[in-house]
Structure 1
Amino acid sequence: MAAISSPGLGSGLDVNNLVSQLMAAERKAPTARLDSASTLNDARISALGKITSALDKLQTAAGTLASPNTFQTKTATVSDPSALSVTAARTAAAGSYTVEVSQLARADKLASASFNTAFETVGTGTLTISFGTWNSGSSTFTPNAAKPSTSIVIDATNNTLSGIRDAINAAGAGVTASIVGDGSGQRLVFSGSESGAANGLKISVSDNDGNSTDAGGLSQFAFDPAATAGSGRNLTQTVSAQDAKFKLDGLSLTSSTNLVGSAVSGLTLNLRTVTSSPVTVDIARDDSAAAKAVSGLVDAYNEVVSAVKSASSFDSESKKGGPLIGDASVLSVMGRLRGLMTSSIAGLGGVSSLKAVGVSFQKDGTLSFDSSTLADALSSNADSVARLFGATGKASDSRVSVVVSSSTTKTGNYAVDITTEPAGGLLTGAVTAPGFPLTIDGTNNGLSLLIDGTATGALTLTQGSYASADDLAHELQSRINGASALKTAGAAVTVSWNTDHFEIRSNRYGAASTVSLASGSAATALGLDTGTATAGTDVAGTIGGVAATGSGRILTASGDADGLRLLISGAGTGARGSVDFKRGLGDQLKSLLDDVLADDGTIGRRSSGLSDESARIAKQRTALDDRMTELETRYRTQFTRLDSVMASLKATSDFLTSQLNAMTNSGSSSSSSN
């Protein structure tokens, strides 16, 4: 019997159609369940995504409100903007001022005699550039202790006019050199980098030709206004250094620059020109940034409410609920948000809640905002409004400043007590009483020190007669601070004369601050090499009764005030008042949302769970496909066997039928023949 090569061929059964219908029936119910689960899960993911997006916006709005720059913003209006401009910080007091400018600040400019070319050889030696104040008759020069002197070596590699220019510009001496052609030749022009009478230029020369004041060689660039022209005063002063002079509300003031930030707290004046009449400056509070920030919070919160309502409400007409109806995560977040938004901050007086700044809940759960209420609150107590939203610390002692807090700093009032005041490293010279005027020459002008671990290298004091100990202290400070190694390291010192000895103190605070290893002929002559070196000290004390960690002038709290960093200034130990630290609603809201939206937060975990559910559904689909493939194979095997059996039975049936037919036909034939 021939083998059946196609299902149903032998039996007449439509095996393929039967298997297809059976498989469709098998797939229908589980596929419907998976499709329904997938549709619901996708809807939940989409709804949660919209809620997350709205929460992100609310988080941003909360961060804006937590920033102190959002509140107490000031605007400045100037009656004559061509005369001056004004920038007002948030700390500036509102009010009106009059300004009269009689003189603008200028920087010194000196010009050399004319040279044939920029490549003309000049001479070799050392240029020393110093800054200070010349008296009205230019007969006395008082060094600027805050500006270090700089010595520049001129040798065979840079002794041309252009080479000297490049060497000066590379030295970072506080002077810019340029070559200017004036029609008769090339001049070297020295321009001070900073304006102000205290930044007048003095250029001393040590000329290798043996004469450091004549008009030949490198000494052509010597400039001492007290000297004789052509003999130490060899440059022409084209612009003299001077302070700005102006009146503020009739009070005469001066400034070394035209950018004045010290006249009125919180105001920066940019003087532009001399005025012929008073200029009025009006400072007013600007509430627009605060109103925009609060309005932004309200809008962002309402967007969250809308997204949650859409995702979790029940439609009575369709009898269907949103994809996240009854979702515990969403309900938890909304409960926390509402609880925070209705809370208050103790100790802020009348401005202690959102309602006090015009933000109120409505019947439908959204927020409304009355900008006039906020304006009234800002007008009456802007500081409290700022503290209502931000994380702020308010020190009762002016010698304590709050630098920063951390997310772990708890609300509270923390007493501050200083047990060790901060100090810089100090070198106290041995008692010496050199007579003044004191001459510094080649026998006593060498000095080297170690400042905060950085070596100054060999320093050379300017030779000359010093009228007083203070003059020599200025020279010492200028030379030390002018050391390039110290400039690179950001180190500096203050030098002073104390009764009968010199003192050199590092400007850095803390145990790492040191002044030591004084050596050289000047150190010996001034008693510095046998002086006493005392390392600096870090501030030490307690915050809230708990020992804090000191580093320089910064005291960092632990315990409940953990992360609170205070800048300690002023002298003395003992009680320094207290710091009242509060976390405002904006800061608390941002922290809450940081927690909620984190990967391990409420929304983060829910989102991860929904993603896992999508993965599970996908795995179930794969498993269903595998099971259906196996079942289809089994069905086909069974039907193929049935087909084979039925084909065999059909063959037998056909054979028997043919035999019976044959017998019947044979019997009929016999009867006929009889």
Structure 2
Amino acid sequence: MTTIGNDIINRVGGGSGIDTGNLINDLVSLQSTPDQQRLDRRQELLESQISDYGLLRSALSSLEGAVNAVSSKDTFDAKSVSLPDTSLIALTQLNAKAAAGDYRLKIEQVAQPQSLSSASFASQTTEIGKGELTIRFGDWNGALDNFNVDAEKTGATITIDETNNTLTGLRDAINQADIGVQASIVADGGAYKLLLTSPSGATNELEISVTEEAGSPGLAAFSFDESSQSMTQEQEGMDALVRVNGLLVARDSNHITDVIEGLEFDIFNSSSTEVINLNISADKSTAEQAIRDFVEAYNTFFDEAQKLTGFNEESGEFGSLRNDSLADNLVDQVRKFIGGAVPGLEDGFTSLANLGIRTRLDGRLEINEDPDEPNTNFRAAIDKNFGLVRDLFVPTTNSSDAKVKINSYSARTQPGTYEVVISQDPTRGQFIADPLPASFPLDTSGKDYSFDIRVDGVDAATIALPDGKTYNSAQELAADFQTLINLDASLQAAQVKVSVSYNTDTGALEFVSDAYGSDSRVSFAAVGDDMGELGITAKAGSSGLDVVGTVNGEAAFGYGNILLPAINTKADGLSMTITPGATNSTVTFSRGFAGGLSSLVNDFLSNNGLINEREANIREDLEDVDDDRAELERRTEAYRSRLQSQFLAMELIVNNLNNTGSFLDGILDRLPFTAKNN
């Protein structure tokens, strides 16, 4: 600055011409350079922080991936299985639910489906009549003269009209019903037959009842019920029979999923002599490796975070996030959680230190495997207290009463212990008929056993018991009511169902909704002339009740059999299913070490998390730098214009002075009285 100032003085004082352009540039640069350098440093820091927050996000994401591995119950419940060479079965899945132990399997029978064939038709497009086919599942006796309907399985009512009244149309309509029945057309000596194949199993056999449309007969050729069997049974349905450690169990499929919990296998053949020996054992190595991977992932995160928030020895410089409060707080919170006790755990292993994972002086984690320290030895914890290790890492929920079941929790739910008190049981809507005046066997021939029913506010189409059917017991009648009602398309679309039973104490049929709560009700809007013989008249049933209760003394929200704690309480987010008969329960909830750390990391990484918010603020600061640059440019140009005007005015003055000087130069020689005489 001194050199430039002296140069200006010298130039002006010398009385020579001034290089005003360079002089103005120098003056402008002298004024704007400090601000420009400040903005450059600010922009460089902000851009470095954006980049380094990306690195910090990446390090956190890697840590989160390792945390997710140790937060899964399946990681700690992993199993392994040994299976000898055999052609009878093949294992398809082994999951964490499998119970460890030795199992002896003997395959005594393979499951098979029932198959029915129709009479022959000359063409696949031969018209077959119009009307409805009602397909139900159940079990035929050996003589095929008595069918026991399976009330728990839903069949279908299939409409055949002018759009599909051919053999091909019927095949396609049955397949499109998507109830597990396979329909195909088989060529047989120049003619064609419809072949129906049920799902495998003894109780998946088919009953096909036909209602023909007046004036368009033909569908009766596909009936297979107690009163009419136009189709022929080619093969009966059979269950798979498997003996497990001596216990004989039957399953309707050759894909066995629940004989040994957690183990699934397919059956291919049976044998009267071969015994398959299976051994299922716990696989602790999966969890152990996941924990070791987590420790490594944390140390990698910590090293990367130190470079960004502290001194980077590789670059020899401090990280751009050194004085960033959020980055410092993020690392500090993670470190505190790593070293602290897990919220919600009151006994057993409550921190990483209990299983020999400790924090070194430099902040990194290390695994203690020193056999001379048995109380804080990782190997001993895995081998001797694996259950406690599992409970430390994974989320846990417990209830002192099995009738109060915790279904789920949310990010809002705080770990802790809560007292649940039930003051009103949930109940289901129901219709209790009058005692049955009819006796059994009951023949429906010529009777009007039709009715209109409403379940949970949904109206079904008119339903009728089959004409010409004989019921040998009230239990058979109740099963038919249940399947016919649950076959209704409107009820199926609304996913509402009923259970129908016969109460031997009262002698009456009972229709009960599958849903709990005040919206649950079963009513008969209209009934046929003979329904009174079954104790059923047109009237409304009783509504169910919603569960009522408190959590930690505060009124909870009950809907059906679901109880939800009040909003903005510590238990907010818990969802509990209440079974009738529950009175009170103590429930506990812990996210576990992994769940708590995952929740903490997610607070930083989520789309509306703190890192995104901080990055948005930095981008706004960068926009402010751009605005400051534009403002500096405007001020600089204004200063330049002012200097140019001032120097221009100065030059005009100097030029005028120079002109005046030239005019005055020798003026005495030209004035009268002072002029020199020649």
TM-score range, shorter chain: 0.7 to 0.9
Which sits farther off after the overlay, 176-185 or 119-128? 119-128
- Where does structure 2 lack aligned partners over 5 or more consecutive residues? 1-11, 371-376
- Given candidates 574, 578, 583, the residue that maps to 1:574 is 583
- Given candidates 260, 271, 289, the residue that maps to 1:264 is 260
Q: Are positions 1:420 and 2:424 aligned together? A: yes
Q: What is the deviation of 1:634? A: 1.2
Identify the residue that residue 3 of structure 1 maps to in structure 2: none
Encode CA deviations 1:300-330: one digit per residue, 9 max, x unaligned. 3223322332234348999964433354433
Q: Secondary structure at the match of 1:39?
A: helix
Q: Are positions 1:397 and 2:401 aligned together? A: yes
Identify the residue that residue 147 of structure 1 maps to in structure 2: 153
Aligned residues: 649
8 Å CA contact 2:668, 2:675 repeated in 1: no
Identify the residue that residue 243 of structure 2 maps to in structure 1: 247
**Judging changes above 3 Å, is the alpha-carbon distance between structure 1 residues 142 and 245 closer, same or farther for their aligned structure 2 residues?**
same
**Judging changes above 3 Å, is the alpha-carbon distance between structure 1 residues 253 and 316 closer, same or farther for their aligned structure 2 residues?**
closer
Letter in 1 for 2:267: L
**Judging changes above 3 Å, is the alpha-carbon distance between structure 1 residues 108 and 309 closer, same or farther for their aligned structure 2 residues?**
same
8 Å CA contact 1:131, 1:200 repeated in 2: yes
State the alpha-carbon separation in 2 of the partners of residues 319 and 80 from structure 1.
63
State the alpha-carbon separation in 1 of the partners of residues 565 and 157 from structure 2.
46
Q: What is the deviation of 1:342? A: 0.9
State the alpha-carbon separation in 1 of the partners of residues 608 and 361 from structure 2.
33
State the alpha-carbon separation in 2 of the partners of residues 154 and 557 from structure 1.
51
Identify the residue that residue 113 of structure 1 maps to in structure 2: 119
**Judging changes above 3 Å, is the alpha-carbon distance between structure 1 residues 374 and 510 closer, same or farther for their aligned structure 2 residues?**
farther
Q: Are positions 1:366 and 2:376 aligned together? A: no
State the alpha-carbon separation in 2 of the partners of residues 316 and 279 from structure 1.
62
Q: What is the deviation of 1:86? A: 4.4
Q: What is the deviation of 1:53? A: 3.0
Q: Secondary structure at the match of 1:50?
A: helix
Letter in 1 for 2:581: G
State the alpha-carbon separation in 2 of the partners of residues 29 and 155 from structure 1.
89
Q: What is the deviation of 1:172? A: 5.0
8 Å CA contact 1:78, 1:84 repeated in 2: no
Identify the residue that residue 4 of structure 2 maps to in structure 1: none
Encode CA deviations 1:71-115: one digit per residue, 9 max, x unaligned. 312234433475132423323222222222222222221111221
Letter in 2 for 1:223: F
8 Å CA contact 2:74, 2:95 repeated in 1: no
Identify the residue that residue 517 of structure 2 maps to in structure 1: 510
Encode CA deviations 1:359-392: one digit per residue, 9 max, x unaligned. 3222321123469966754554544333323332
Q: What is the deviation of 1:436? A: 0.5
State the alpha-carbon separation in 1 of the partners of residues 549 and 309 from structure 2.
54
Encode CA deviations 1:226-276: one digit per residue, 9 max, x unaligned. 78xxxx433222232111111112221111122333323333333333356
State the alpha-carbon separation in 1 of the partners of residues 313 and 208 from structure 2.
92
8 Å CA contact 1:76, 1:87 repeated in 2: no
State the alpha-carbon separation in 2 of the partners of residues 370 and 448 from structure 1.
72
State the alpha-carbon separation in 2 of the partners of residues 238 and 442 from structure 1.
33
State the alpha-carbon separation in 1 of the partners of residues 237 and 517 from structure 2.
37
State the alpha-carbon separation in 2 of the partners of residues 437 and 52 from structure 1.
75
RMSD: 3.4
Which sits farther off after the overlay, 466-475 or 602-611? 602-611
- Given candidates 433, 437, 444, the residue that maps to 2:441 is 437
Identify the residue that residue 508 of structure 2 maps to in structure 1: 501
Q: Are positions 1:306 and 2:303 aligned together? A: yes
Q: Secondary structure at the match of 2:517?
A: coil
Q: Secondary structure at the match of 1:654?
A: helix
State the alpha-carbon separation in 1 of the partners of residues 162 and 410 from structure 2.
59
State the alpha-carbon separation in 1 of the partners of residues 561 and 385 from structure 2.
32
State the alpha-carbon separation in 2 of the partners of residues 12 and 532 from structure 1.
112
State the alpha-carbon separation in 2 of the partners of residues 376 and 93 from structure 1.
23
8 Å CA contact 2:288, 2:382 repeated in 1: no
**Judging changes above 3 Å, is the alpha-carbon distance between structure 1 residues 266 and 553 closer, same or farther for their aligned structure 2 residues?**
farther
Identify the residue that residue 24 of structure 2 maps to in structure 1: 19
**Judging changes above 3 Å, is the alpha-carbon distance between structure 1 residues 172 and 458 closer, same or farther for their aligned structure 2 residues?**
farther
State the alpha-carbon separation in 2 of the partners of residues 462 and 350 from structure 1.
63
State the alpha-carbon separation in 2 of the partners of residues 473 and 53 from structure 1.
62
Identity of aligned residues (%): 32
- Given candidates 468, 479, 485, the residue that maps to 1:480 is 485
**Judging changes above 3 Å, is the alpha-carbon distance between structure 1 residues 420 and 50 closer, same or farther for their aligned structure 2 residues?**
same
State the alpha-carbon separation in 2 of the partners of residues 375 and 439 from structure 1.
73
Identify the residue that residue 489 of structure 1 maps to in structure 2: 494
8 Å CA contact 1:108, 1:239 repeated in 2: yes
State the alpha-carbon separation in 2 of the partners of residues 191 and 291 from structure 1.
49
8 Å CA contact 2:322, 2:328 repeated in 1: no
8 Å CA contact 1:539, 1:553 repeated in 2: yes
8 Å CA contact 1:348, 1:384 repeated in 2: no
Task: Write out aligned runs for 1:118-129 (5 A).
Answer: 118-129=124-135
Q: What is the deviation of 1:33? A: 2.8
**Judging changes above 3 Å, is the alpha-carbon distance between structure 1 residues 582 and 150 closer, same or farther for their aligned structure 2 residues?**
closer
8 Å CA contact 1:114, 1:184 repeated in 2: no
Letter in 2 for 1:410: Q
- Given candidates 184, 190, 193, the residue that maps to 1:184 is 190
Which sits farther off after the overlay, 481-490 or 401-410? 401-410
Q: Are positions 1:203 and 2:208 aligned together? A: yes
Encode CA deviations 1:529-583: one digit per residue, 9 max, x unaligned. 15661112222233334332222222212343222111223x42423x4222123
**Judging changes above 3 Å, is the alpha-carbon distance between structure 1 residues 11 and 134 closer, same or farther for their aligned structure 2 residues?**
same
Letter in 2 for 1:274: S
State the alpha-carbon separation in 1 of the partners of residues 153 and 416 from structure 2.
44
**Judging changes above 3 Å, is the alpha-carbon distance between structure 1 residues 266 and 567 closer, same or farther for their aligned structure 2 residues?**
farther
**Judging changes above 3 Å, is the alpha-carbon distance between structure 1 residues 478 and 612 closer, same or farther for their aligned structure 2 residues?**
closer
Q: Secondary structure at the match of 2:431?
A: strand
State the alpha-carbon separation in 1 of the partners of residues 160 and 116 from structure 2.
19
Letter in 1 for 2:113: A
Q: Secondary structure at the match of 2:259?
A: coil
Encode CA deviations 1:590-634: one digit per residue, 9 max, x unaligned. 232333456886655654554344333333322221111111111
**Judging changes above 3 Å, is the alpha-carbon distance between structure 1 residues 535 and 380 closer, same or farther for their aligned structure 2 residues?**
farther
**Judging changes above 3 Å, is the alpha-carbon distance between structure 1 residues 408 and 631 closer, same or farther for their aligned structure 2 residues?**
same
8 Å CA contact 1:425, 1:508 repeated in 2: yes
8 Å CA contact 1:427, 1:503 repeated in 2: yes
Q: What is the deviation of 1:514? A: 1.0
Task: Write out aligned runs for 1:341-356 (5 A).
Answer: 341-345=338-342, 347=345, 349-356=347-354
Identify the residue that residue 527 of structure 2 maps to in structure 1: 520
Q: What is the deviation of 1:502? A: 0.8
Letter in 2 for 1:404: S
8 Å CA contact 1:429, 1:530 repeated in 2: no
State the alpha-carbon separation in 1 of the partners of residues 213 and 50 from structure 2.
84
8 Å CA contact 1:405, 1:565 repeated in 2: yes
Q: How does the TM-score come out when normalised to structure 1?
A: 0.87
**Judging changes above 3 Å, is the alpha-carbon distance between structure 1 residues 156 and 338 closer, same or farther for their aligned structure 2 residues?**
closer
**Judging changes above 3 Å, is the alpha-carbon distance between structure 1 residues 607 and 483 closer, same or farther for their aligned structure 2 residues?**
closer
State the alpha-carbon separation in 1 of the partners of residues 117 and 287 from structure 2.
54
Identify the residue that residue 164 of structure 1 maps to in structure 2: 170
State the alpha-carbon separation in 2 of the partners of residues 611 and 154 from structure 1.
66
Q: What is the deviation of 1:494? A: 1.2
8 Å CA contact 1:387, 1:582 repeated in 2: no
Identify the residue that residue 587 of structure 1 maps to in structure 2: 595
**Judging changes above 3 Å, is the alpha-carbon distance between structure 1 residues 542 and 374 closer, same or farther for their aligned structure 2 residues?**
farther
Q: What is the deviation of 1:504? A: 0.9
Q: Are positions 1:236 and 2:264 aligned together? A: no
